[in-house]
Structure 1
Amino acid sequence: MNTQFRRPGRRAGAAAALVTLALVAAACGEGDDSSSATADATVTVTAAATGDADSGSSTGGNDTSTQKFFNDASVWNTRADTEATDKSSAKMLELAMTRIGWEEKKTGLTKVVKKVDDPLWINTTEWTDPVVAGGVATEVTCRQTSCGDGEGSITLDVPEDVDPDPEYDGWYTILDTTNNIAYDLWRARREDDGSISYHYMKIWNLDGSGWQTAGEVGARGSGLPLFAGLIRPAELEAGEIDHALAIAVPAPSSKWYVSPASSTDGNGKNASLPIGARIRLKANVTFKNPVDSNGKKIALTADQKRYADAIVLALRTYGAIVVERAEVPTLFAQRDATDLEGDELQGLSLDDFEVVKLGKKYRYPTPDKVATNAAATESAAADSTDSSDTATASATATATDTAGSN
């Protein structure tokens, strides 16, 4: 198993701390799900330290790999294998593999277009999220005047031996399993005194929908949770992953995104695959033995093969939601928590996938009027009649036609 990104162990006794958090921004941002907290809700969080300097008890935190994320109706927990395929699926996937960049030459900046044909990779130790719960009462502090849902300092239970990694944007998720909420941190780091500081915090209701309305932001550029869609150790061991996975592609659209994303940091052509899109493995695609860059077969252990089978089945049944951009097509495993090497699915590429029919497209940056009315529009769509469905489809078609021109 991979080694955790750890700092030298510390033992510190601490009393339980009672912290009251005003979750105004978090409560009003989670989609149109009625089970999400309402605006201006106040949540009382009990941060109980589990370590004790005299007892020598563990301060390594609790196992989070079986924690359920979001409600049953969440897009993260619903199947995609019977959904219609988008008519522009092949074109969007092709453009999503076409990176556009700039190189400085003697004549000035030159536009460079590169076709990426790399197979599927799984991030296991870098550019992925550690998910922690329990440990010792730890001060968690905003380093700026404004930090999203965070403000000043709060005290949360955090294991002493699992740190954010500033080299990879300091992604870090702390679960409060007592109140069923999660804290996504961006640019987090462990300070010398053992506290954790950060630049941005997003608080998620684990009983909620797992997405936000158009224009809302989060610890990811897509506005989606850092921890949603992770491949986790318990489900690999069980051989069953019953949720959509998170995926990054090389060149998602820079102009459009779709729900469940609420923003985008895409860098591709306008007609490319938008962040928030859901893709799934084609029904006729089976597991292919991975090969390296020289075409040589990569030998897998029996466990790796079993893990790969579980991931392939999840990609075919639940699909994957585009949450990021990356140099190559990339899935995300919970950081330092699985026995995956990362190359188990190198026999698959984006050509083996298809795009589930897109919903309404949102322009980036999101106009204020659209952002203000997004929740009401999406809520109304859920209860719409046939006539309003026709109107919505017409509006979506217009947006799609516009997105198709570069």
Structure 2
Amino acid sequence: MIVGSLRRWCGAMAAGVAAAALLAGCGGSSPEPSPEEGRLFAETSIWNARLSTDVAIDPASDVVVADLARQASAGATINSDAYSVPIVVADEATPTVRVDDTDDDFLDTADSPYAWGDVPIPARARPADGTDRHLVVWQPSSDTMWEFWDFRWMGATPTAAHGARIPDVSTAPGWLPAPYGAAASGLPLAAGVMRQDEMRRGSIPHALALAVPEIRAGLVRAPATRTDGASDAAGAPVMGSRFRLDPALEVDSLGLHPLVAQLAHAAQDNGLVLRDTAGTVALYAEDPAGGHNALDDLAEGADVGDLMATFPWDRLQLIAAPEYRWP
């Protein structure tokens, strides 16, 4: 465990100094995505780099994993139809609009590459159900992504309270400097989300975003840049923590439902990254935005909560990473 200055870490990351430390133990990149999917974030980012079997494990792994398993035993799910992330694709002809920042007018006026600026929001764009009202707009032609928290249409004017613009998203590092971003961690909303086409193919070539109810207060782990954690429990996971399923575990011998087995393989190959706080332990699947949800096909009529109860939470391992005080 390394505890230091988060501001110093952000500066080092911006200069590329800490990249090797964060990627230590990574065994290579994940398979290339399909053309219709497109890769989000750098091939070497925490989201896309595969884990080696000998990656360093945190000395506190057993305690933290036990706490995570305890939280999962109270209920775990996959957020898709609500509290998830609709990823709306805009083409180069989509008209741009200004999104009104309803919190402090910072994101619609700041002179920063992460401020929203002119956003190509399709008229069909609607936020996820639930109080977070998340929305992601992705324009492959400009290699740019925008994310929003509490997104609303006020007549013809789009509004949101928090978020960011992510330029060069296909090579972006997969984290956002504070105060930007729509998630409590400063990690991008689209990162770690199971895309609809990935679920149809039956293969998830990246790490999975994780949310839990009880997160340690006052600490973050790289690459997270902030936290809303409120737990004083020593074993509570820290925002930004990366877990992987024990590589010695033979997933295909466990008799898991195919959906759970798919998640377990992704957790073994690329890991889980603690991205947000939620009312229950949750992973994220792309919101189908009113269309057909591939998650329903994978679940085969089973209750997703019942399926997630069979995930081998107690066989996760906490990967060692720098840890910093927040704020």
| TM-score normalized with structure 2 length | 0.74
Match of 1:142 among 83, 100, 103: 100
Contact conserved, 2:149 with 2:182, CA < 8 A, in 1?
yes
Is residue 2:122 matched to residue 1:122?
no
- Cα offset, 1:91, TM superposition: 0.6
Task: Encode CA deviations 1:151-178: one digit per residue, 9 max, x unaligned.
Answer: 3995533333330146331211111222
Match of 2:217 among 249, 254, 258: 254
Counterpart of 1:68? 39
- Cα offset, 1:64, TM superposition: 9.8
Alignment gaps of 5+ in structure 1: 1-27, 35-62, 99-114, 291-299, 366-406
Is residue 2:112 matched to residue 1:160?
no
Aligned counterparts of 2:322 and 2:73: Cα–Cα separation in 1: 29
Aligned counterparts of 1:170 and 1:240: Cα–Cα separation in 2: 28
Alignment gaps of 5+ in structure 2: 1-9, 17-33, 111-115, 297-303
Counterpart of 2:245? 281
SS in 2 for 1:330: strand
Q: Does 145-154 or 264-273 show the bigger shift?
A: 145-154
Is residue 2:285 matched to residue 1:333?
yes
In the alignment, residue 127 of structure 1 is paired with which amino acid? Y
Q: Does 262-271 or 144-153 show the bigger shift?
A: 144-153
Contact conserved, 2:72 with 2:313, CA < 8 A, in 1?
no
SS in 1 for 2:99: strand
Contact conserved, 2:199 with 2:294, CA < 8 A, in 1?
no
In the alignment, residue 88 of structure 1 is paired with which amino acid? A
Counterpart of 1:211? 175
Aligned counterparts of 1:96 and 1:267: Cα–Cα separation in 2: 15
**Distance change >3 Å, CA 145–CA 250, structure 1 → 2:** closer
| Superposed counterparts of 1:255-404, under 5 Å | 255-271=218-234, 272-283=236-247, 284=249, 286=251, 305=258, 307-336=259-288, 338-341=293-296, 342-343=304-305, 344-357=307-320, 359-365=321-327
Counterpart of 2:143? 180
Aligned counterparts of 2:57 and 2:191: Cα–Cα separation in 1: 23
Match of 1:196 among 144, 158, 170: 158
Aligned counterparts of 2:152 and 2:128: Cα–Cα separation in 1: 7
Contact conserved, 1:138 with 1:157, CA < 8 A, in 2?
yes
Contact conserved, 2:199 with 2:295, CA < 8 A, in 1?
no
Aligned counterparts of 1:286 and 1:146: Cα–Cα separation in 2: 48
Q: Cα RMSD between the aligned structures?
A: 2.9
**Distance change >3 Å, CA 157–CA 71, structure 1 → 2:** same
Counterpart of 1:84? 56
Aligned counterparts of 1:227 and 1:64: Cα–Cα separation in 2: 17
In the alignment, residue 124 of structure 1 is paired with which amino acid? S
Aligned counterparts of 1:29 and 1:149: Cα–Cα separation in 2: 21
SS in 2 for 1:253: coil
Aligned counterparts of 2:214 and 2:280: Cα–Cα separation in 1: 9
- Cα offset, 1:73, TM superposition: 1.6
SS in 1 for 2:220: strand
Contact conserved, 1:222 with 1:265, CA < 8 A, in 2?
yes
Contact conserved, 1:289 with 1:346, CA < 8 A, in 2?
no
Higher relative contact order (CA 8 A, sep 6+): 2
Aligned counterparts of 1:218 and 1:30: Cα–Cα separation in 2: 19
- Cα offset, 1:231, TM superposition: 0.4
Report how many aligned residue pairs link the two structures: 277
Is residue 2:66 matched to residue 1:94?
yes
In the alignment, residue 360 of structure 1 is paired with which amino acid? P
In the alignment, residue 99 of structure 2 is paired with which amino acid? T
**Distance change >3 Å, CA 231–CA 148, structure 1 → 2:** farther
Counterpart of 2:299? none
- Cα offset, 1:147, TM superposition: 4.2
| TM-score normalized with structure 1 length | 0.61
Contact conserved, 1:148 with 1:202, CA < 8 A, in 2?
no
**Distance change >3 Å, CA 78–CA 242, structure 1 → 2:** same
**Distance change >3 Å, CA 168–CA 79, structure 1 → 2:** same
Counterpart of 2:21? none
